[in-house]
Amino acid sequence: MTLSRFVNTFGQAMLQRYGERVHKIAINAAFTCPNLDGSKGRGGCTFCNNMSFNPNGRKPSAITEQIAAG
């Protein structure tokens, strides 16, 4: 028995839908954290350091350029 008979993973669903593997890319849209700025909560969460998600650590390019670069 294979696990794929019982479990439909996200990767399998994307492969079935698009016919090839789909990968996630990180995009910096310059949003703030709603838990840090007070609009949804206070004090932040474990993901508060937004710059830690930006591997380049510099001013982000336009979103279209980020998508093209992958």
Q: What is the pLDDT of residue 20?
A: 93
Domain assignment present for 11: no
pLDDT at 57 over 80: no
Domain assignment present for 19: no
**Number of structural domains in the chain:** 1
Reduced to 3 DSSP states, what percent helix, strand and coil does the chain have, rounded to the nearest 5? Answer: 35, 0, 65
- Record the pTM: 0.39
The string of pLDDT tens digits covering residues 4-39 is 678 888 888 999 999 998 888 877 777 766 766 666
Give yes or no for a contact between 10 and 4, defined as CB atoms under 8 angstroms apart: no
CA distance 30 to 63: 10
Q: What is the pLDDT of residue 49?
A: 61
More confident residue, 12 or 61: 12
Domain assignment present for 39: yes
Q: Both ends of the chain: CA-CA distance in Å?
A: 36
CA distance 34 to 40: 5
More confident residue, 36 or 54: 36
